[in-house]
Amino acid sequence: MAVLLEKSFPVEAGAFTTAGEASTTIKRTLKQLGINAEVLRHVSVACYEVELNLVIHSLGGTLTLLVDPEKVTLISKDVGPGIPDIDKAMTEGFSTASAEARTLGFGAGMGLPNMKRNATEFDIQSEVGVGTTITMSFALR
Amino acid sequence: MIVRDLTELLEAKDRTPETDKNAEVSCGYTCDLLSWVMAHGTAGMAWVTVQTHMNVIAVASLMEMTAVIIPEGIEMEAPSVEKAKEEGITVLESPLTAYEICARLAGKGLPGKHE
């Protein structure tokens, strides 16, 4: 499928003050493309969750937005530390967030389940010591 | 209910006089867990929270909320106020507790969140 748009955003580990900037830009971009409000809302929620996960849990990574006529795709790729038990990480209420993240109101253990709930397709691959890749797609029709 | 109605009702200080005071408020909500709000927020919402950092505005903006209300005389951090102005979200600081704020909003007929 022909890609209409591809954009990448670097996300820095621990950068809480700028967290959400990539998601805001992505939302704005999709709005300009005329993506319908319902899809836009699902993408925005999942995008912010995955961006926050990069800030809170990863050693840094990249968020990539792809748009084709059929779907919007978000790919989050980080450089570690990797998730030892994906099933556990996918469980609502389970979180390994730091005290700092919790003080800010994160770490409720809702992130990954919330992404899965909002995406049409959700895939997570992780290897300890290597990194995690999350691929989410959102059907446009 | 519109944003203008909130200020007097909640005895609040408006930190963002630049935003649209005729913007419609669809419902009220209170929660301090941002990840929870991400899962449950809706457009047009007036959200009561004691959190004052930048991520509050990021969440409010992504959910297309109308207003963020900070209770008990807590001050919103200056960078968050600036960000709110950019995003067109009203920030109100009220001396009332979150409980009292919600009670007053409900008393005026503002509904809770609906799916």
Q: Which residue of A has its CA nearest to B80?
A: A17
**By the CB < 8 Å criterion, does A119 face chain B?**
no
CATH at A104: 3.30.565.10
Q: What integer pLDDT is reported at residue B115 of this predicted model?
A: 55
User: CB–CB of B46/B27 below 8 Å?
Assistant: yes
Model confidence band, residue A80 (pLDDT cutoffs 50, 70, 90): very high
The H or E element containing residue A76 is strand A71-78
B-chain CB neighbours of A44 within 8 Å are 62-63
Over residues B4-36, the pLDDT tens digits come to: 999 999 999 999 999 999 999 999 999 999 988
Q: Which domain does A133 fall in, by range?
A: 5-139
Pick the residue of B55, B68, B74, B89 with the most A CBs within 10 A to test the interface with A by mutation: B55
Give me the mean pLDDT over the B64-70 stretch: 97
Domains of chain B: 3-107 (3.40.1390.20)
User: Is A21's pLDDT higher than 70?
Assistant: yes
Instruction: Please count the structural domains in chain A.
Output: 1
Model confidence band, residue A141 (pLDDT cutoffs 50, 70, 90): confident
**By the CB < 8 Å criterion, does A53 face chain B?**
no
Which tokens sit at B114?
Answer: 């609906």
Whether this model's ipTM surpasses 0.90 comes out as: no
